[in-house]
Structure 1
Amino acid sequence: MRARWPNLSYQTRVWDNPEAASRFDQGVLHPTLAKNLYTLPSEVLIARATKQIALQVDELQADNAKLRSGVDELTGQLEQADKELNELWEGLAESQHQLKEQKADRRKANDKLMRENKFLKAELPGRSVANYKQSPEDSSVPMETRQEFDDSVLPEE
């Protein structure tokens, strides 16, 4: 058997060197792993593999528990957000209904105002407004040029 990694060592930075990475990825073993594979008894290798699997299982179970608690918390938040969303949709529907009613009321008021405006335009040309300066009532009221303001309550007669 001939080694395929003559320039690779346990200190080789495989991620920095594309050539070393391609050699490492071709299915070859790391030198330390290869040494252990050929020098240690199979019982030791199996025990190490079992230990590693057990450690990974424990780690994965802990991660799973964390994820489940996070999912439960997020599920509660989602339910709360759904409730708020439903309340907001109900409020929106009510607001839209009120808006439609207000638009209808505004149209009615606008139509009534237009009818009154037409009526007044038709009626006003027939009436004449007295010229203020020529009003006889105002000329007969005696008044000084500078009149003092008096806001006192007048006695009842």
Structure 2
Amino acid sequence: MNAEDPALSLFIDAVKMAEMNRFIDAINKFTEITHQYPDNHLADDAMFNAGLCHFHINSFNVAINMFRAVIANYPEATVYTYGNNKEFGKTAAKCHYAIINCYLGLAQPENAADELQKLSNYTDSYIESPIGEKIAFFDLAKTAIDTFSNLR
């Protein structure tokens, strides 16, 4: 355990569990961070990742609630970059993008489109592609909605 930042040790353990598709175990670890260390710089990322784990097990409504909690509780938080993670900007932007994907998973494109409007406020939040291209979460979300609509 990291004596300097015990939340970081929990976070790393939780990420490893999620990478092994042990989503319930990862949810428990991420939730432990948010409960034990709510003011830690990783708390917003832990709550987001718990929501992402719920997304991966098709628990979309729970995931939406978790993402909304991140936005409400950590509105100014920034994305924690670790490992090969190439995401930058506000955690809230990632949450809106994730909510859009949840709504698409629930076959609710109208709600996804409504959420897209909220995401439009985060022009400084993006991923970096393998070739170094910056792609805004807004653009990713718009593409996802358009793709979903074209498949219907």
TM-score bracket, normalised by the shorter chain, equals: under 0.3
TM-score of the aligned structures, taking structure 2 as reference length: 0.24
| More strand, by proportion | 2
Of structures 1 and 2, the one scoring higher in RCO (CA 8 A, sep 6+) is: 2
Instruction: Select the structure of larger CA radius of gyration.
Output: 1
TM-score w.r.t. length of structure 1: 0.24
